[in-house]
């Protein structure tokens, strides 16, 4: 493809703003938008779905897990491109006819920003058909289209070699598009860093419809889309991943303990102090889960069960020696541990067994009819034991829904990468991340109120100035009063965005604004928490 650049920044502004000036005086209809697409897209496959199509609802709901957004405004159309040129045409027609684009590649979206909008009209660009993966074992790299899932990445790499993998999350149905562009962490983070730390190239369609790679987009934009959320800057069509070495055999365990046991309390205490300092080959995270049961007399009972899950990049004998040294309170024994291929560990933690890797290719999301709300924190100083007990005690207050709290350790490689290396700033000094979740059925008011009270309770014991949040754990409670309005000044809009921007990105937020203003000054790519442009109308 031929790339071109403008000779000056101001020339870019003119080109970007011109279509929007036309929109102000033109009355384009939905029919004109559809005609724009159909006259420019040549394919035998159906890629445009409107509300009149029988498969529209099925397609819309197929990747929606959070039923909290079922009653929200629906897109005018869903576009399912089979080729990058289809994306380029969609960008062109959307600008020409005033359509906001929402890009969806997986559906694991905590606040639904990839498929929900109060700004109308809007369309969804569904990337599920762009899911090819090309693995180069000799180069230790892979080109992955943005519609693929992390499970498909793990499968295709393991298909070629058992000694390479990629650092990403543990849920196989997560789409790589959003996961990688906001950071992406999992069991290899302490050894190799984030997913975004291991991206070496990308292909992105910008607001002018150009397909750019790392060289043609420039290092500033390439920096921004690795952790700053690519949806603010364009539409990533593919990522080039740097694969990392893993041993032929790893050891995993998932042990359950009783929080009423003093030994377990001592173990949690020890975990806080050591989990981020242990050998980089070992990652142990804790999930506190509320379990609802009924006794023989019919009385309901809620218990808190901490699960300690771990992946060790080595054999069981070495792991047992390390655990006896670091966490003797756990009393880990050989029977608790299982040796397996690294790729099998993802199936182990989801209860899909080991052996066949085919479940990694299953991207079907079965709707449970449940809603959820999540929040997150970073911990820089040890949380007092009585505060941990107070935090867990609040889980008893949520009687209808199911609650979980995760402690995920940092340290290792995460401490060695500069805060400014990519937009993701949560590096040295962060002991672990806390992830809070409530899952429920029915009305949400009391459940949302509960998790907000829990979050407020933890305020004195987590990161401060700012209280930081992981961007992939998006939370619209932060800056929830922010409004996008033409009557709101740019400076006011930026000031409101700073509320959430500094929590997600700290000092990197200022550079993200500069990059956004340069590459998308008219703010064509936007959502409720996208990076703002200083020149937006």
Confidence at residue 487, expressed as pLDDT on a 0 to 100 scale = 37
- Look at residue 73 in the predicted model and tell me its pLDDT: 85
Closest to 198 (Cα-Cα) out of 157, 254, 150, 239: 239
Q: How far apart are CA 304 and CA 393, in angstroms?
A: 9
CA 328 to CA 24: how far, in whole Å? 68
Q: Which CATH architecture does the domain made up of 250-339+367-461 adopt?
A: 3-Layer(aba) Sandwich (3.40)
> Does residue 287 contact residue 257 with C-beta atoms inside 8 Å?
no
SS3 164: strand
Q: Which residues of 157-179 are buried (b: 16+ CB within 10 A; e: fewer)?
A: bbeeeebbbbbbbbbbbbbbbbb
CA nearest to 434, candidates 475, 473, 477: 473
Q: What is the b/e burial string over 355-384, where b = at least 16 CB atoms within 10 angstroms of the residue's CB?
A: eebeebeebeeeeeeebbbbbbbbbbeebe
What pLDDT was estimated at residue 402? 85
Q: How far apart are CA 280 and CA 269, in angstroms?
A: 20
Q: Which residue in 266, 253, 224, 267 sits closest to 338, CA to CA?
A: 253
Q: Write down the H helix ranges in 108-232.
A: 150-160, 176-181, 189-192, 214-217, 219-225
Give the residue from 190, 167, 188, 185 showing the smallest Cα distance to 413: 190
Fold category of 133-245 in CATH: 3.30.465
Q: What is the pTM of this model?
A: 0.91
Q: Are 504 and 469 in contact (CB under 8 A)?
A: yes
Which residue has tokens 């290396």?
A: 421
Interatomic CA distance for residues 381 and 368, integer angstroms: 37
Please spell the DSSP secondary structure of 497-521, one letter per residue: HHHHHHHHHTTHHHHHHHHHHHH-T
462 is written with which tokens? 């987590």
The residue written with tokens 């899950």 in the block is 309
**Is residue 447 predicted with pLDDT exceeding 80?**
yes
pLDDT tens-place string over residues 17-46: 334 433 433 344 688 999 999 999 987 788
State pLDDT tens for residues 481-520: 544 333 356 777 788 899 999 999 999 999 999 999 999 9
Q: Which CATH number fits domain 9-126: 3.50.50.60, 3.40.10.10, 3.40.50.720, 3.30.43.10?
A: 3.30.43.10
Summarised one tens digit per residue, pLDDT across range 122-147 is 999 999 999 999 999 999 999 999 99
- Is 282 or 260 the better-scoring residue by pLDDT? 282
444 falls in which pLDDT band (50, 70, 90)? confident
CB 483 within 8 A of CB 529: no
Ramachandran assignment for 362, one of left (phi > 0), alpha (psi -120 to 50 degrees), beta (any other): beta
Q: Residue ranges of the domains in the chain?
A: 9-126, 133-245, 250-339+367-461, 476-537
Give yes or no for a contact between 49 and 38, defined as CB atoms under 8 angstroms apart.
Answer: no
Per residue in 61-88, pLDDT (tens digit) is 888 888 888 777 899 999 999 999 999 9
Q: Do domains 9-126 and 133-245 have the same CATH topology?
A: no
């Amino acid at each position: 493809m031929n790339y071109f650049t403008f000779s000056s920044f101001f020339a870019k502004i003119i080109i970007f703003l011109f279509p929007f000036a036309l929109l102000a005086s033109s009355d384009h209809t939905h029919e004109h938008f559809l005609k724009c697409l159909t006259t420019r897209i040549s394919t035998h496959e159906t890629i445009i779905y409107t509300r009149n199509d029988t498969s529209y609802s099925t397609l819309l709901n197929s990747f929606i897990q959070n039923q909290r957004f079922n009653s929200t405004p629906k897109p005018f159309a869903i576009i399912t491109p089979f080729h990058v040129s289809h994306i380029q045409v969609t960008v062109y027609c959307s600008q020409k006819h005033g359509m906001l684009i929402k890009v969806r590649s997986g559906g694991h979206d905590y606040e639904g920003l990839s498929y929900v909008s109060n700004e109308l009209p809007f369309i969804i660009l569904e990337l599920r058909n762009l899911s090819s993966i090309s693995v180069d074992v000799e180069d230790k790299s892979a080109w992955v289209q943005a519609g693929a899932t992390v499970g498909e990445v793990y499968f295709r790499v393991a298909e070629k070699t058992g000694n390479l993998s990629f650092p990403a999350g543990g849920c196989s149905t997560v789409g790589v598009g959003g996961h990688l562009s906001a950071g992406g962490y999992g069991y290899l983070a302490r050894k190799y860093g984030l997913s975004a730390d291991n991206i070496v190239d990308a292909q992105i369609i910008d607001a002018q419809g150009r397909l750019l790679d790392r060289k043609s987009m420039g290092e500033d934009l390439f920096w921004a889309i690795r952790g700053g959320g690519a949806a603010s800057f364009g539409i990533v069509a593919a990522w080039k991943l740097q694969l990392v070495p893993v041993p032929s055999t790893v050891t995993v365990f998932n042990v359950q303990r009783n929080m009423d046991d003093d030994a377990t309390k001592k173990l949690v205490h020890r975990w806080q102090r050591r989990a981020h300092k242990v050998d980089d080959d070992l990652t142990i995270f804790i999930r506190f889960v509320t379990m609802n049961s009924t006794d023989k007399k019919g009385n309901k009972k809620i218990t808190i069960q901490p699960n300690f899950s771990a992946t060790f990049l080595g054999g069981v004998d070495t792991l047992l020696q390390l655990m006896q040294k670091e966490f003797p309170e756990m009393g880990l024994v050989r029977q608790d541990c299982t040796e397996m291929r690294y790729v099998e560990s993802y199936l182990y933690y989801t209860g899909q067994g080991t052996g066949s890797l085919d479940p990694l290719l299953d991207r079907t999301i079965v709707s449970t009819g449940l809603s959820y709300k999540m929040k997150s924190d970073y911990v820089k100083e040890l949380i007092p034991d009585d505060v941990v007990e107070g935090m867990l005690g609040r889980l008893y207050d949520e009687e209808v829904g199911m609650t979980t709290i995760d402690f995920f350790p940092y340290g290792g490689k995460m401490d060695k990468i500069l805060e400014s290396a990519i937009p993701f700033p949560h590096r040295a000094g962060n002991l672990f991340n806390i992830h809070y979740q409530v899952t429920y059925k029915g009305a949400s008011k009391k459940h949302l109120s509960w998790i907000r009270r829990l979050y407020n309770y933890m305020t004195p014991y987590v990161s401060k100035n700012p209280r930081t949040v992981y961007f992939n754990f998006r939370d619209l409670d932060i800056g929830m009063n922010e409004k996008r309005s033409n009557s709101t000044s740019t400076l006011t809009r930026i000031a409101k965005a700073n509320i959430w921007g500094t929590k997600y990105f700290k000092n990197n937020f200022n550079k993200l604004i500069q990059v956004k203003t340069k590459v998308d000054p008219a703010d064509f790519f936007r959502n409720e928490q996208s990076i703002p442009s200083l020149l937006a109308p």
